[in-house]
Structure formats: structure tokens, C-alpha cells
Amino acid sequence: MKKILVLHTGGTISMTADEEGNVKESQQNPMTQLGVTLDHVTLEILEPFSLPSPHIRLRHMLELYRIIKEKADTIHGVVITHGTDTLEETAYFLDTMNLPNFPIILTGAMRSSNELGSDGVYNYLCALRVAIHDKAWDKGVLVVMNDEIHAAKYVTKTHTTNVDTFQTPTHGPLGIIMKHDILFFKTAEPRVHFDLDDISGTVPIIKAYAGMGDGIISLLSPDTIDGVVIEALGAGNLPPEAAKALNHLMEQGVPVVLVSRCFNGIAEPVYAYSGGGVDLAKHGVMFVKELNSQKARIKLLIALNAGLRGKDLKDYIEG
């Protein structure tokens, strides 16, 4: 008999649409009312909070981590229902925490519980199927949506409303949900794990664009921020005035992490002109491999709260 911990946290999967089509929070989460039965499986169902995913903060992610840690000795896996807007960030946060290697699955819905073609119950059942599957162990935190299994590190929301919104650029999914079985193609790379009791800090994300000057960067103060994530152009380049402003921040001790604004590919220092990646790296900008900006922000915050500085911080960020 396997025991799966289910944590309902809110989001579209827990909401209903009114007569005008406006999706709203329900007085009672419909997911808690499901009579799901699986052979040789028991469910422990908790609702630690019920929030639209834009309301999720790092402290909520940390709360989920604490609950899973407390229950770890008595369970064989975890399923978390979550709003899709920030689902990938919660998944990445948990994937970076020091949790057992049993399956931890996040899922959600793109259509509320009473909409035509609602996908919530189906995604939830698929997540449970993955959570009890023996081959789901030691795969890291997984996101299960629309018959696909994705690694928390790489998956991202790509469409505002389509049920096929969660995709993994460059790599593709780790596996698929079949009618009677689950097939894994590959395994995500090993993760560095941390055990945090608290997490705080301010790391803004700035997106680069043609003709970008020092404007928004010059407004940032080392007294009010703990780091910066920059979504750079192409392989990792910036307009020269923006690069100079970032250099000034780094001279004042602010760590700067760079990702590409491109959907596919990896940022790396290639171009040696003013503001190019080679120039940025020489001044101390850290290039993150295969993460989008929202996950790079979480990675930097976790590292800073874990006490990483200097070379240790750079090695972890760029590793």
C-alpha cells in the first residue's frame, strides 16, 4: 500500500466560472470533494492555503517544503495542485530543496472546474498515477500536464490559455502518460540541494531591448536590492549603456545574473564588442545555463540565503 500526500494550494484547478465567464475562487475547493480511489493507494489530503498563483510568494513555497519534510517518513510521494501562472517557479524551488527522492508532482488546470473541457480532474488523476509509479523515483520534482511529464528545472508556461501550455524548450518532456502505462524517455540532470529555514531578499528581473539605456538600471540601489537578473539579447548581449549601468551595480557589490530572452538555447559569452557577452563576463556577470529569468531569480535567492558568496556563488549559478 502506497501513501500519497496531496497538497491543494488553489489556482484555476480550484476555481469556477460564473455566468459571464469570469473565473473566480470557489467557496469550497472542488478538488477536495473528489472521491478518488486507486488500487493499493491511500491519500492524505491537506489544503495549506488556497491562492491564485499570482499571489504565491517564496514563503508559500517554503511552507510546502516544510510540510513535505515533516511528512516524509510516512509517505511515498506527493501531488501538489497549483495555479499555472507561477507553477514552474514553485516546482523549481522545491526541486532545489533537500527532499527525499520519492516522486513530487505538480499539476494544475487551464480551465476551471465547471468550464467545458475542464482539464483539472484529468491532470490530477495523471499526477497521482505518476506519483505512484516506481520509475518516477529519483527524477526530481516533476510537472504533469496534458499527458506529459516535465522536469521542474526546464518546464515553462508557453501559452496564456491553451491546455498544451507547459513545454520544455530544447529538451522536450521527460515522459508521457499513456492509457495504461507511463513512459519515461530520460532523466533530468542531478540537482544541488539546499535546506533553508527561511528565505528573503529582493531580486528584480529586467528585460533588455533595442536602444536600452541606463534608465531603469540606474534607479536600482544596492541598499534596496540583493541582486539582479537580466534577460539579455541573443546569446547574452546588451546595449552598451545598459551594460555600463550593470557594471556600476556590480562595482557596488550587487550580483548580476544573466539569461537570454530567447525561448530556446543557452546564454554564453560569445561576442567581444562593448556590451557583448565576453565583455559582460569579464566584468563579473554570471551566465545561467538553461533557466528562464523567473527560475534564475529563485536560484540566486536560494544561493544568497544559503550563504554563497564570491567564487562559490559563481560556481553554483553557472554550474
Where in the sequence numbering do the catalytic residues fall?
Answer: 12
The strand pair at 148-151 and 141-145 is best described as antiparallel
Closest CA to 64 of 88, 45, 84, 48: 48
Cα angle, residue 186 at apex, residues 111 and 175 outer, rounded to 5°: 25
Q: How far is CA 76 from the centre of its chain?
A: 22
Which grid coordinates belong to 143? 510537472
Partner residues linked to 258 by β-bridges: 230, 287
Helix (H, G, I), strand (E, B) or coil at 290: coil
Cα angle vertex 211, ends 205, 214, to 5°?
55
CA dihedral 229, 233, 234, 238 (to 10 degrees): -100
